Amino acid sequence: MATRQQSFDQDRPADQRRRELLEAADRVVLRDGPKASMNAIAAEAGITKPILYRHFGDKGGLYRALAKRHTDALLDSLRAALDAPAGRRERVEATLDTYLAAIETRPQVYRFLMHPAENSDRPDPGGPETGFDVGRHSAPLLRRLGEELARVIHDRVELGPDGERLARVWGHGIVGMMHAAGDWWLGERPCSRAELVNSLADLLWGRLAAVADRAGGPGF
């Protein structure tokens, strides 16, 4: 094992080693959800926890790296939905569906990112994980989604002289709505995804439908 661990740290570029560790962490999260432990992730990667800590510091550092990885991918998908060659209502629905499809397809990843594990306040023996709280770390992830969506809205919709502020209100409001409604829906499944998308789009559609496109812009 020592030879394998030494090879892991010395024979690969740092970015490749980090990517391999995140891929191992993803596999464990897909299996264990929010209860994924550093012990299990190290075992999946074929290393010991000290090597894992060397790359991420603690479970919070690993969580932030995984959150960035999944948030980047989700934002790319949301931008693609918003920029698709379709009508405005269709793009709103596609954006909502993209988010809901992401949490439906990988519910364990979603729960790891958004919900603290039942035993998250217990230290993982042999490492600095005491007091890790996924809930405390998920708020910055939602804020980032809100800010990114606000930029997209501001770039594509003419909102008048106070447009930047209003875009931020809408961006964070839409993300909050998607998160709260999606969390409830994922837990209870009271309707189909398509029915939820249509209902949420109806809620958003009031003022958004009346906003004029920015002259010369790509049009939202």
The string of DSSP codes covering 30-72 is HHHGGG--HHHHHHHHTS-HHHHHHHHSSHHHHHHHHHHHHHH
Distance in angstroms (rounded) separating the CA atoms of residues 180 and 190: 14
Q: Which two tokens stand for residue 113?
A: 């990112």
- Give the SS3 label for residue 107: helix
Max intra-chain CA distance, the chain: 65
Tokens of 118: 């039942």
Cα separation, 143 vs 27, in Å, equals 26
Q: Is the pLDDT of residue 21 over 50?
A: yes
Q: Which residue has the tokens 């010991």?
A: 48
CA-to-CA distance for 153 and 91, rounded, in angstroms? 12
Domains, the chain? 67-208 (1.10.357)
Q: Which amino acid is at 58?
A: D
Q: Mean pLDDT over all residues of the chain?
A: 81
Distance of CA 95 to the CA centre of its chain: 14
Position 216 scores a pLDDT of 43
Q: Residue 138: pLDDT above 80? A: no
Distance linking the first and last C-alpha atoms of the chain: 55
Which pLDDT band holds residue 173 (cuts at 50, 70, 90)?
very high
Q: Is the CB of residue 30 less than 8 Å from the CB of residue 109?
A: yes
pLDDT for residue 220: 52
DSSP structure string for 151-210: HHHHHHB---TTHHHHHHHHHHHHHHHHHHHHHHHHHH--S-HHHHHHHHHHHHHHHHTT
Flag whether pLDDT at 2 surpasses 50.
Answer: no
